[in-house]
């Protein structure tokens, strides 16, 4: 091929290379634009996603009732929330194999006794599936157990789970988690204490702390 022909052929090829370069630049720009939109979307969704994860790992419901009961009975609202978490994970309508009902898993016999002593003359067992009643009765029991053990949270929680007779047998007001011989109760007490600390940290505003 003559030098003139080569020059013409090269001239024909150059525009095609230039066109390809422009297409590649547009594609790159489109990719960068899409990536930027995706990043902005993810950033805007992060608070919602964080909240969803938090609700899944450590749910909180009925915080208005929890705050009310904490005020009325002089309790830590995070402790009430932690007991509900350990007992039912805030799922309404749960009934245990032992017949305990609702959010704080109160047995009908315990509820009737609390109703009698607290003036709840109109109480019926079905009321335990109402969050207001269930949390009120569970909080009443927690307050009573804390008073019984001079504020010892470990002993009160052990009694809530296994009964006051066992908590008395294991050390009463001097009870420590490591001294609880029942693995189920020991794990329960530790779970509630850990959850209480997390509720204080994650839900301070919601719980009025």
Residue with tokens 């607290």: 118
Which residue out of 55, 87, 169, 198 is catalytically annotated?
87
Whether 87 contacts 106, CB under 8 Å? no
Catalytic residue check, 72: no
Q: How many CA atoms lie within 13 A of 35 on its CB side?
A: 6
N- to C-terminal Cα separation, the chain: 88
- Structural contact between residues 69 and 136, judged by C-beta atoms closer than 8 angstroms: yes
Q: Do 86 and 185 meet the contact criterion of CB atoms below 8 Å apart?
A: no
List the catalytic residues: 87
């Amino acid at each position: 091929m003559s030098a003139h022909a080569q020059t013409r052929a090269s001239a024909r090829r150059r525009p095609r290379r230039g066109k390809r370069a422009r297409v590649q630049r547009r594609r790159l720009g489109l990719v960068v634009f899409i990536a930027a939109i995706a990043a902005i979307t993810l950033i805007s969704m992060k608070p919602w996603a964080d909240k969803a994860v938090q609700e899944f790992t450590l749910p909180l419901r009925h915080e208005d009732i929890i705050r009310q009961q904490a005020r009325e009975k002089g309790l830590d609202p995070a402790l009430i929330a932690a007991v509900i978490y350990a007992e039912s994970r805030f799922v309404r309508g749960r009934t245990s194999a032992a017949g305990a009902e609702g959010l704080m898993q109160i047995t009908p016999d315990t509820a009737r006794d609390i109703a009698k002593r607290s003036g709840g003359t109109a109480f019926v067992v079905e009321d335990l599936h109402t969050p207001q009643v269930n949390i009120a009765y569970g909080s009443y029991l927690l307050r009573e157990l804390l008073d019984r053990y001079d504020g010892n949270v470990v002993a009160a929680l052990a009694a809530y789970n296994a009964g006051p007779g066992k908590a008395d047998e294991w050390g009463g007001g001097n009870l420590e988690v490591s001294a609880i011989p029942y693995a189920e109760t020991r794990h329960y007490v530790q779970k509630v204490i850990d959850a209480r600390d997390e509720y204080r940290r994650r839900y301070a505003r919601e719980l009025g702390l």
